[in-house]
Each structure stands twice: as C-alpha cells, then as structure tokens.
C-alpha cells in the first residue's frame, strides 16, 4: 500500500481545536495560532503548515494595512494643504512624510502639489508687485497733475493742465489746502491756461477749491482763462463773481505783490499810530 | 466654538480617518470634532492622523466596540 492511500487518524479533541482556531482566523483574528499537539505526525505536519500560512497571511495583511494607512494619511495631508491654500494660506505645503513616502505615486502627487502652490504664490507676488508699482505710478502722475509752486514769498501757484474731474479736483483741494497750512501763504493763484475745455462741473470744482482756500485766510486769484473758456463759462451761467480773475499768471503775481505791499504799508501805518 | 460629530461606525480602516479628513475644511480654530468608529484599528489610526495633521487629540472613550475620539482644531 502506497503512502498516498494510507489513512490518517485524528482525535476528536485535535479536530475540535483545529476547527476552533480556523473559525477565529476566519473571523479576522489573524494573530490566532493552532496550539493543539496532534499525536499523528501527518496531522502535526498539517498543523505546522497551517500555522505558517496564517503567520504569512498576518504579515501580508499587516503590510497592506500599513501601506493603506500611509496612502490615506498622505491623501489626508494633501487634502488639508489644498483646503488651507483655498482659504488663502499660500505658505502651506505637504510635509516630507508625503514627499518621501514609499508610495511613489503619493510622493509625486505631493511634489506636484507643492510646486503648483509655489507657482501660484510666485504669480500672485508678481501681480501684487505690479499692482503696487502701478499704484505708485498713478500716485506720481496725480502729484505731477497737481504741482503747487511757491513762486514768490507768500504766493503759491497751482497751474492746471487738462481735464479736471471730481477725483482730480478733490486731490487738488487736499494738496492745496495742505500746502497753504504748511507754507502759511497769503495768496494762491489758480492758473488755468492749460485748460481748454470747461463744463459746469469743472467750473464748480474750481470755485470750490478757491472758496476752501479762502476759508484758510488766503486771497485766491484765477488766471489764464482762455477766450473760449470764458465764453463757455458765460454761456453756462457759471457765477465767478466772488472770484478775482486776471488775464495771466504774470498779472496775477503782480497783483499779489501789490496787495502784499499794500497790506504791509497798512500794518506799518497802524503800528506808527 | 462649535462641536461637529462624525459617525464612521460600520466603516473599515482607513475609511473612518478619511471621513474625518473630509470634515476638516468646515472646522475653525478651536472647534471640536467628535468622531466615532467601530473599526478595530481606529484608535491607533486617529492618533497617527492627529499627529500628522498637527491636531490635538483631547480624549478617547470606549463604549463596547465603539471608540469616540475628541479632536480640537
């Protein structure tokens, strides 16, 4: 009789122990091992093989779990970084745990994510710098549009060139009033030689600028009204009666000097009295 | 300070921690997230998750198979 056909005897207690262990393993308890000691050598061999198979299964499942957790944590971290970036935190990056992950795909994903965020950050910084530069340029242009010159002692001149809208007139007023206060000047000449077109609103802006300056105790003179502008102002019915107007800047300065001298004389005389 | 509850019972590793991850963007600094799961490895997983995400694990409580983790954001 060959060994292949030889019968094997298993005791009831060994069989019960084998089944009980296998049931536990089937239920997910992979740390379970068959502990019974069968008397039959063939059954003992079967038990050893089964224990090795279970140990191998446990080891592989453990490795799989570690890899799955690694992937899940890497995904969670990447998701967290994306959420932070979305809420405006451009300094957020995935950590070396992701970049150096044994999972090559995860590492590449992390690297790609970090590079993309860095690119976005770089582009935003470039746009910010451009916006700052543009704002500085606009500020400079506005300053150049409203130059205020001290053309004589106590005399400021504000030459106006081009169109005057509400924003520019507001800037003109703020700059002029600030200069009047800091220079303590007595006269302001608003020279509009460079203004070719005037509408009601522009004229209104000029009147407001001059009246505000007069509230600070300065005398205001408007010079350089072009014939076409004068015609338009009359046609529009703009009331400039409260404003002293003269032909050009030269006449305006002459008037200021004359008035200044007259004031000094009056003060001298009142001092003598 | 708000408290958000995430029920991940019946889910197997690593689904519970992914479910917690999905809830993250809604959380504000100081908020608390209470996550419950009955997966055998949940406690170990959520500890690793908190460490990796730099979040504070306030408490772990057990009720039979269910494990509840309190996480502060």
Residues of B assigned a catalytic role:
13
Separation between Cα atoms, residue A184 and residue B15, nearest integer Å = 76
For residue B61, the distance in angstroms to the closest alpha carbon of chain A comes to 22
Confidence of residue A232 (pLDDT cuts 50, 70, 90): confident
Which one is predicted more confidently, A17 or A107? A107
Chain A residues in contact with B53 by the CB 8 A cut-off are 76-77, 80
Separation between Cα atoms, residue B48 and residue A68, nearest integer Å = 13
Question: Does residue A140 fall inside a structural domain?
Answer: no
pTM of the predicted protein model: 0.59
Mean pLDDT of chain A: 87
Q: pLDDT of A234-255, one tens digit each?
A: 888 877 777 889 999 999 999 9
Find the domain containing A267 and state its range. Answer: 146-272
DSSP assignment of A126-181: HHHHHHHHHHHHHHHHHHHHS--EEEETTEEEEEEES---HHHHHHHHHHHHHHHH
Selected residue of B8, B52, B71, B73 to mutate for chain A interface (largest A Cβ count, 10 A): B52
Chain A residues in contact with B13 by the CB 8 A cut-off are 65, 68-69
Nearest to B52 among A73, A83, A86 (CB): A73
> Does A150 share its domain with A115?
no
Question: Does residue A31 fall inside a structural domain?
Answer: yes
Question: Does residue A259 fall inside a structural domain?
Answer: yes
Question: Does residue A189 fall inside a structural domain?
Answer: yes
Structure tokens that stand for B7 in this block: 């029920």
Question: Does residue A136 fall inside a structural domain?
Answer: no
Question: Does residue A2 fall inside a structural domain?
Answer: no
- Cβ-Cβ pairs closer than 8 A, A with B, add up to 42
> Does A114 share its domain with A194?
no
User: Which CATH number characterizes residue A47's domain?
Assistant: 1.20.120.1530
Of A80, A101, A119, the domain-final residue: A119
Query: Cα angle vertex B27, ends A103, B12, to 5°?
Result: 45
Interface membership of B64 toward A (CB under 8 Å): no
Question: Does residue A104 fall inside a structural domain?
Answer: yes
DSSP, res A3: G
> Does A103 share its domain with A155?
no
| Among candidate residues A30, A99, A39, A38, the one with its CA nearest the CA of residue A65 | A30
Please count the CA atoms within 13 angstroms of the CA of B11 that sit on its side-chain side.
Answer: 18
Query: What's the average model confidence in pLDDT over A102-129?
Result: 94
Structural domains in chain B, CATH included, are 3-72 (3.30.110.40)
> Does A112 share its domain with A177?
no
Q: Is the pLDDT of residue A63 over 90?
A: no
> Does A257 share its domain with A213?
yes
Q: Report CB contact under 8 Å: A71, B14.
A: yes
B-chain residue closest to A82, CA distance? B25
Confidence of residue A28 (pLDDT cuts 50, 70, 90): confident
A-chain residue closest to B45, CA distance? A69
Quote the pLDDT of residue A11: 84
Q: How many domains does chain A have?
A: 2
Separation between Cα atoms, residue A95 and residue B51, nearest integer Å = 12
User: Which CATH number characterizes residue A256's domain?
Assistant: 3.30.750.24
> Does A106 share its domain with A154?
no
Q: Report CB contact under 8 Å: A77, B41.
A: no
Quote the pLDDT of residue A26: 83
A-chain residue closest to B12, CA distance? A65
> Does A113 share its domain with A150?
no
Q: Is the pLDDT of residue A193 over 60?
A: yes
Q: Is the pLDDT of residue A166 over 70?
A: yes
Query: What's the average model confidence in pLDDT over A257-263?
Result: 90
Q: Which of A30-34, A120-124, A199-203 has the highest mean pLDDT?
A: A120-124
Q: Report CB contact under 8 Å: B48, A69.
A: yes
Question: Does residue A139 fall inside a structural domain?
Answer: no
Query: What's the average model confidence in pLDDT over B6-10?
Result: 95
Q: Is the pLDDT of residue B37 over 80?
A: yes
Q: Is the pLDDT of residue B55 over 70?
A: yes
ipTM tops the 0.95 cut: no
> Does A190 share its domain with A231?
yes
> Does A99 share its domain with A208?
no
Confidence of residue B11 (pLDDT cuts 50, 70, 90): very high
> Does A158 share its domain with A254?
yes
Q: Is the pLDDT of residue A3 over 70?
A: no
Q: Indicate the SS3 state at residue A101.
A: coil
């Amino acid at each position: 009789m060959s060994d292949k056909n030889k019968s094997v005897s298993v005791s009831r207690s060994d069989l019960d122990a084998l089944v009980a262990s296998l049931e536990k393993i089937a239920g997910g308890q992979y740390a379970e091992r068959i502990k019974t000691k069968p008397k039959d050598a063939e059954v003992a061999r079967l038990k050893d093989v089964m224990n090795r198979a279970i140990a191998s299964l446990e080891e592989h499942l453990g490795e799989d779990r570690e890899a799955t957790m690694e992937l899940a944590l890497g995904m969670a971290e990447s998701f967290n970084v994306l959420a932070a970036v979305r809420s405006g935190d451009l300094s957020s990056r995935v950590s070396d745990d992701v970049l150096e992950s044994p999972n090559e795909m995860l590492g590449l994903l992390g690297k790609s994510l970090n590079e993309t965020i860095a690119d976005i950050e770089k582009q935003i910084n470039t746009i910010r710098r451009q916006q700052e530069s543009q704002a500085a340029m606009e500020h400079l242009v506005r300053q150049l549009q409203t130059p205020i010159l001290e053309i004589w002692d106590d005399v400021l001149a504000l030459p106006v060139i081009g169109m005057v809208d509400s924003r520019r007139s507001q800037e003109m007023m703020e700059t002029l009033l600030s200069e009047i206060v800091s220079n303590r000047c007595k006269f302001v000449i608003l020279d509009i030689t460079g203004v070719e077109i005037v509408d009601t609103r522009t004229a209104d802006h000029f009147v407001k600028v001059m009246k505000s300056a007069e509230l600070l105790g300065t005398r205001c003179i408007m010079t350089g009204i072009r014939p076409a502008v004068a015609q338009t102002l009359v046609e529009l019915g703009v009331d400039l009666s409260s404003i002293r107007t003269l032909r050009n800047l030269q006449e305006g300065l002459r008037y200021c000097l004359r008035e200044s001298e007259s004031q000094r004389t009056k003060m001298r005389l009142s001092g003598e009295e | 300070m708000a408290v958000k509850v995430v029920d991940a019972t019946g889910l197997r590793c690593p689904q519970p921690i992914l479910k917690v991850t999905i809830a993250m963007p809604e959380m504000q600094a100081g908020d608390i997230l209470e996550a419950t799961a009955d997966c055998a490895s949940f406690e170990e997983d959520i500890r690793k998750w908190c460490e990796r995400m730099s979040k504070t694990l306030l408490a772990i409580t057990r009720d039979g198979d269910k494990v509840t983790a309190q996480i502060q954001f």
